[in-house]
Amino acid sequence: MEKRYHSFVDYNKERYGCRLQKIVIDAGFTCPNRDGKVGRGGCTYCDNRAFHPNYSTPDKSIAHQIEEGIEFHKGRYKSTSKYLAYFQPFSNTYKPLEELKKIYEEALNHPMVSGIVIGTRPDCVDDEKLDYLAELAEKHIVIIEYGIESCYNRTLERINRGHTFEQTVETIGKTAERGLHQGAHFIFGLPGETKEDMLAMAPMINALPILSAKFHQLQIIKGTRMEREFAEKREDFVTFGLEEYIDFFVDFLEHLRPDLYIERFAGEVPPRFVNSTPWGLIRNVELIRMLDERLEERNTYQGKLV
């Protein structure tokens, strides 16, 4: 069955000839909404332990994490021959440039690493850092993944992001000027947003010069401020059942420009970190199958209504 949306996995296979497997690296970064520069406590939904593997800890060297990451993934993806060092936890450009150079170049010096993916925030890069990353991209795969989460400033303020959507637009524009591959991350179901609000983000996302995007449903992580807010103000949250979310995402895809590659459309957090598992223990491969089937049933596709 021909795909009715553009998958980022397929993009990598077409461009690089194989699957590129990410190895999560924890290089000991923090965030400006944690250390007091723009706020304290971090994003209200966040606990970084919930989404990176056990081998990835900042007490190990980057080379050591890469070696363990390769061993970790060999069993699942036997055909993988190229790896990307994925600097994921917290804001991975939030250090002086000279420190960043040492961190990124240690990863790129590993013989099995073809490039780096840098997860960060729109307010944690500047012209000097972008110029350096553009230089790296002349010889290596370099992907910048911006956490945007929402296109609405009222939401960004409520979840304690510490930056505005206008800052996002400006930073992504500067990144595009340098020809860098950039992706973005968004969350569906943040407090105060209706389904109509979420669907209305599609044209705002379409206007951003990004190549790829990750979309996740909100999951309530134990011990976070959002868990308390969810308990106190449940009416402010849209909670999706599984079938409902698949239909919602099909609606969203219809409004999304067809040349944007989808890296993920739903998230998996280990059950021990969430206060409930309303979808059960469903894996990503099953979610993809359900999305494919629903697109076929509705005879629709990404960008149909753009």
Residue 301: C-alpha distances to residues 4, 169, 199, 251 (Å): 5, 27, 16, 9
Q: Torsion over CA of 293, 306, 209 and 164, rounded to 10 degrees?
A: -90
The residues facing 20 across adjacent strands are 82
User: Whose structure tokens read 């002086």?
Assistant: 96
Percent over 90 (pLDDT), the chain: 81
Q: How confident is the model at residue 36 (pLDDT cuts 50, 70, 90)?
A: very high
CATH 1.10.3470 fits 8-297, yes or no: no
Q: Which residue has the tokens 């690089």?
A: 16
* CA 7 centroid distance within chain: 14
**Where along the chain do its domains lie?**
8-297
Is a pLDDT exceeding 90 seen at residue 138? Answer: yes
Q: Which residues pair with 216 in a beta bridge?
A: 187
Half-sphere exposure of 109 (CA within 13 A, CB side): 9
Question: What is the pLDDT averaged over residues 243-253?
Answer: 98
What is the three-state SS of 62-74?
A: HHHHHHHHHHHHH
Q: Please write the tens of the pLDDT for every residue from 251-261.
A: 999 999 999 99
Locus of tokens 């509705």: 298
**Half-sphere exposure for 245 (CA within 13 Å, toward CB):** 21
Phi, psi of 110 (to 5 degrees): -70, 135
Taking CA atoms, 276 is separated from 48, 220, 273, in Å, by 18, 8, 9
pLDDT tens readout for residues 179-223: 999 999 999 999 999 999 999 999 999 999 999 999 999 999 999
| CB-count burial class (<10 Å; 0-12, 13-18, 19+) for 297 | exposed
Which residue is listed with tokens 């790829």? 212
What's the N-to-C CA distance of the chain in angstroms?
23
Assign 13 a pLDDT band (cuts: 50, 70, 90). Answer: confident
The SS3 assignment for 110 reads coil
* Sign of the dihedral defined by the CA atoms of residues 212, 92, 167, 269, in that order: positive
Contact 180, 144 (CB under 8 A): yes
Q: Residue 304 above 90 pLDDT?
A: yes
**pLDDT tens digits for range 37-72:** 999 999 999 987 766 778 888 999 999 999 999 988
What residue spans of 29-76 are helical by DSSP H?
62-74
SS3 82: strand
